[in-house]
Structure 1
Amino acid sequence: MKNTIVVAGATGNLGHSICTELIKAGTHVKAIVRDSSDPLKVDALKKIGVEIIEVTQFKEKELTPICQGASCVVSAVTGLHDVIVNAQLELLHAAIAAGVPRFIPSDFSSEFTNIPEGENRNFDLRKEFGQHLEKSSIKATTIFNGCFADILRYNTPLFNVKGQTVAYYDDKAYWKIDFTTMDDTAAFTAKAALDATTPRYLRIASFRVSPNDLVALSEQYKDKRFKLVDMGSMEGFSAYNKIQRAQDSAGEDELYPKWQQAQYLYSMFLVHHEALDNDRYLDLMWSKVEDNI
């Protein structure tokens, strides 16, 4: 009998990739989608063999029958408080009511458990949901993947191809930053969803590079050695982010306002994995940094 995995947020890039990996493994996948979802994205899921279940409201009563018979619920939703806390709580309660033994929350990020409150708004939302998750009866597994590797193509201060610079803070030019591609994250998550023995936390990275490493890579793959730029202290960076947030109240209703983007950069230099669980599933092949810059 096939395993059944329920995926929420399946029309997003990560959610779709997780569904794809689960289908490849011969899993029965149920995707919870809102009736307002992009029909092209829904059709793309249908074409790979995903069972689509549309809901009008993301409420426990409507979600519970969908979760029945599943061995794990995977959340790949994105959003602000109404999604990360409120909607995921409805999904969590539905999973518990349906007797689902395991839950993977939408915590795909840096290891925010070690980041103080107020330093990253979006991580604070995940911590708030996590408090509810810890009190629940379900077995949960969070997957920390560091940063998604595609950020290296966005001309952020960390690796600015247009400006040909690489940034660092304090004395962290040698600080290793965790990066994982979306495909690698999805492949690992699919394995974890089918693994009844997963611990509370799993930590992965396709590759780990420092600002100094990025300078060397720029010379090799961008045909010019980028300039390493000292951006000042982490303390000053934190204070700057708080000022920018206080001056942009409208940004509280946006998923990625400029100050939130800066908070992500701050988090990259604040925490990184001490150890990796990459070898938990030995058949996975991890992407290389050379293919992502």
Structure 2
Amino acid sequence: MASPFVAVVGATGGMGQLVVMELIKRGVAVKALVRPNTDASRTQKLREAGVIITPVNLSDVTSLTRELTGATCVVSTLQGLREVIHSLQGKLLQASVAAKVQRFIPSDFSLDFTKTKPGSNRNLDLRREFHAQLRNSGIAWTSILNGGFMDLMAGDTPMINHKSHKVPYIGKLTQLLDFTTMADTAAYTAAVAADPNPAPNFLRIASDIVSVQDIANAQTKVQGVQYKPSWMGPIGFMEFMIRVMRLFGGENDVFPAWQGMQYMANMMSGAGKLDPIDNSRYPELTWTKVEDFFRDCKAKEGK
């Protein structure tokens, strides 16, 4: 590819596809690096959008370097445990440096792990550890932190019980929580990737900042039935339960039950709270409020 492009790795996943489509909307040429033997059905939508699909061994730095030469930015949306976040993403970082890519966006998309206590969240620890590689690489990099994905509140989730009309929480009812939809996160990521101007190492965004009471109020308005917060205990009790559950395994699972509990503890304790918020960096973007998100979910369920 002779002209400049943005490379997206993990483009067949949910977040990756959204980022690619947002880049296309901006008129940016995109190359999607996919694993060899990826089923054609998973890349069909990307091909139809004009994306260059390039199968490549993600553990082969030489091949990656060749495919990344000419890229202005590399966006990683890889998801997994140490082998993925450290090893594969680390090789992607090495290749980006060798190819003289201008900017690297790692697959963070999370709470503010720069503020959470090491050991309190396995997946956040992996991201924090990877940043040692980033800092030593010499490449310009930008990490996008979006709090919790609002999409995880769709349907019956640990955060919303539609049968009992309750919103479980731990800690204080007044604690503010950061939520961003995957679509809003992807739009912001594409804006950063396409931006020719320098960007800080960390950008923090939130579609909406709400308390558990706000979530209950929004569900009440949308569903027409009163939802109430339901206290489950102090933060320390949740942390104790996490330690007990880890004794029974799940360390090799990307998202075991106790991993979700770790995110809940980090959010509801305020440890992973985003501050400052950088939404205004790209004023052309719009942001999804929690109540609007719930209305959209209900409308989709009715189809």
- TM class by shorter chain equals over 0.9
CA distance, structure 1, for counterparts of residue 158 and residue 227 of structure 2? 12
How is 1:1-293 mapped onto 2 (pairs within 5 angstroms)? Answer: 3-170=4-171, 172-195=172-195, 196-248=197-249, 251-270=250-269, 271-293=272-294
> Structure 2: which 5+ runs fail to align?
295-303
1:193-235 CA-partner distances (Å, limit 9, x unpaired): 1223110000101111111111212221122222321111111
Whether the 8 Å CA contact 2:213–2:228 is kept in 1: the answer is no
Whether the 8 Å CA contact 1:8–1:31 is kept in 2: the answer is yes
Whether the 8 Å CA contact 2:73–2:101 is kept in 1: the answer is yes
Displacement, 1:57? 4.4
Which AA in structure 2 matches 1:164?
Answer: H
Deviating 4+ runs (over 6 angstroms): none
Which AA in structure 2 matches 1:237?
Answer: M
**Which moved further from structure 2: 156-165 or 108-117?**
156-165
> Structure 1: which 5+ runs fail to align?
none
Whether the 8 Å CA contact 1:2–1:26 is kept in 2: the answer is no
1:44-74 CA-partner distances (Å, limit 9, x unpaired): 1111111011013432111001111111110
Whether the 8 Å CA contact 2:119–2:125 is kept in 1: the answer is yes
CA distance, structure 2, for counterparts of residue 272 and residue 239 of structure 1? 21
Structure 1 residue matching 2:66: 3-state secondary structure: helix
- Seq. identity, %: 41
Structure 1 residue matching 2:173: 3-state secondary structure: helix
**Which moved further from structure 2: 36-45 or 230-239?**
36-45
1:13-43 CA-partner distances (Å, limit 9, x unpaired): 1101111111111111111000132321211
Displacement, 1:169? 1.8
CA distance, structure 2, for counterparts of residue 276 and residue 253 of structure 1? 33
Which AA in structure 2 matches 1:72?
Answer: C
Displacement, 1:162? 2.9
Evaluate the alpha carbon distance shift between residue 175 and residue 198 of structure 1 in structure 2; reply closer, same or farther with a 3 A threshold. same
Which AA in structure 1 matches 2:204?
Answer: R
Displacement, 1:264? 1.7
CA distance, structure 2, for counterparts of residue 105 and residue 140 of structure 1? 8
CA distance, structure 2, for counterparts of residue 99 and residue 57 of structure 1? 18
Whether the 8 Å CA contact 1:180–1:204 is kept in 2: the answer is yes
Query: In the alignment, what sits opposite 2:297?
Result: none
Structure 2 residue matching 1:65: 3-state secondary structure: helix
Structure 2 residue matching 1:178: 3-state secondary structure: strand
**Which moved further from structure 2: 206-215 or 270-279?**
270-279
**Which moved further from structure 2: 237-246 or 140-149?**
237-246
Whether the 8 Å CA contact 1:2–1:27 is kept in 2: the answer is no
Evaluate the alpha carbon distance shift between residue 94 and residue 290 of structure 1 in structure 2; reply closer, same or farther with a 3 A threshold. same
TM-score, length basis structure 1: 0.95
Which AA in structure 2 matches 1:263?
Answer: Q
**Which moved further from structure 2: 118-127 or 6-15?**
118-127
Displacement, 1:154? 4.2
CA distance, structure 1, for counterparts of residue 246 and residue 38 of structure 2? 31
